[in-house]
Amino acid sequence: MNHNLFIMQGAPGCGKSTFIKNNNLNDLVISPDELRMIINPNPIVYNADNNSMEHGYDFTSKTSRLAFEMANNIMTERMRKGCDIILDLTAANRKTINKLLRTAYEFNYNVNYVNMQAGLALDVINKRNHNRGMRAVPDDIVHKMYDNVNNYAYTDGEHVITPDEMLSMMYITVDDIDGKYDGVRIIGDVQGSWARFHKSGFDTSVMLNPNILHVITGDINDRGEAPDKMFDWVIDNIDRDNLIIIRGNHDNYWRYYGNQNMLGYAGGRATKDSMNLIHSKSKHAHGDWHVMRKIAMQTERKFTDFKAIRYNGVIYVMTHGGLEPWFLHNAYNASMNAFNLGFMSSEDFYYGSGTIIGSGDYKIDIDRMIEDYNDDSIIQIHGHRNNYNYKPDAFKHVFNLEQRVEYDDGALADITINNDNSITTRLVK
């Protein structure tokens, strides 16, 4: 699960908007066409075909320019939250969407072009376009867009996918690890607390025991005494097959590390202090903001918002914030062995379910809710919030790994799922 921008590419009439509507994807869409209508709704124009004045559509350059500026502003706000985004436009010319592409790069998004005109003949597209009424585009412009899309120059790192491939990304498959590992070791929020992380032995066990799957449930940095050491350890180990890092709300800022243009989007004072320490002390950053930015962005792409594994018949779901159990249950598709959660925002996962939007609902007793739901088939493991001071092993169906590691009276939560499905817990102080 990475942050994705989907660009619906194709000439007018190739079925982009219809595809979006038929697959209930409207909530993810940013459409410059719709923004043009918001700017200038239903202007009266002359229709030469029937010699009458009708409600038309504003194609003027001024309105178009403003619509694209609005689209970019909306996209920026959504990307801050880690939302997957669909751009409904022709994308026939890089110059037209260049600013949108730069924004996607700044926020470290994957750029996916969904080619909607592939396999469609031009006469079919023309016929569909003519049925758009006053919103129909002149034939010569449609022909030009059609040719431009077919000859579009994609850059390294951009992906061209089919509509079906896009829809498949709505689902997150449960990874069956039976026979692959002898156990699963999971730790909670580290918060840059290298001393306790090192004392746990987690830093060396990843390398020394490849037969154990290792998971960190988010918030690697900020607040602790040595964010530079945590940063370097992640860089050194992120490509190991037996390591998974869940994106926490503090890890959402990794994509801003070293990017001076994005400092305004970073977290509070603790995040900025961590960035400065990493910049000055990291063996990988070398005191160079550009180097730091490059490796941070490459690494952040390998984090995930949601991880589900099946081990000895039980599904273990790991997020940073914890999800309401009935919501998770309803999202599971048994025939596909997958959760229909692929287009949720990062914010929904790292803050977790609750009644408060955009900051995390710390008062909700998510652990009691999960336990009372009493679903033996799905066990949740999370960090982030623990206002009720539960120990990791307080319940059967949920393990809360937020244990105030960055404070003197706190601890690093460390649990192991053994081969017989027993779970060993410890607190490293």
DSSP H stretches of helix in 107-226? 122-130, 139-150, 163-168, 194-200, 202-208
66 and 180 in a common domain: no
Q: Kindly report, residue by residue over 249-273, the tens digit of the pLDDT.
A: 999 999 999 988 888 888 888 899 9
Taking CA atoms, 412 is separated from 123, 153, 392, 421, in Å, by 64, 49, 10, 22
Number of domains composing the chain: 2
Amino acid of residue 266: A
- Pair 385, 251 in one domain: yes
| pLDDT per position as a tens digit, 191-245 | 999 999 999 999 999 999 999 999 999 999 999 999 999 999 999 999 999 999 9
Same domain, 122 and 189: no
Q: Which of 148, 168, 188 is the last residue of a domain?
A: 168
CATH code assigned at 306: 3.60.21.10
Range of the domain at 72: 4-168
Residues 125 and 213 in one domain: no
Find the Cα–Cα–Cα–Cα dihedral 203, 258, 307, 320, rounded to 10°.
Answer: 90
CATH number of the structural domain spanning residue 72: 3.40.50.300
User: How does pLDDT run across 351-402, given as a tens digit for each residue?
Assistant: 999 888 877 789 999 999 999 999 999 999 999 999 999 999 999 999 999 9
Phi and psi at 78, nearest 5°, equal -70, -35
Domain boundary residue, one of 106, 134, 168: 168
Q: Which of 231, 223, 219, 222 is nearest to 282 (CA)?
A: 231
* Alpha carbon distance 407, 410 (integer Å): 5
At 62, the pLDDT band (50, 70, 90 cuts) reads very high
pLDDT confidence of residue 172: 97
User: What pLDDT score was predicted for residue 1?
Assistant: 60
134: confidence class by pLDDT, cuts 50, 70, 90: low
Helix (H) or strand (E) holding 108: none
pLDDT 10s digits, 281-328: 999 999 999 999 999 999 999 999 999 999 999 999 999 999 999 999
Whether residues 107 and 183 share a domain: the answer is no
State the pLDDT confidence band at 54, using cuts at 50, 70 and 90. confident
**How confident is the model over 331-340, as a mean pLDDT?**
97
Q: Residues 126, 132: contact at Cβ < 8 Å?
A: no
The pTM of the full predicted model, rounded to 2 decimals, is 0.92
Tell me, what's the pLDDT at 288?
A: 96
- Name the percent of the chain lying above pLDDT 70: 99
Helix 32-39 with 61-80: angle, nearest 10 deg = 120
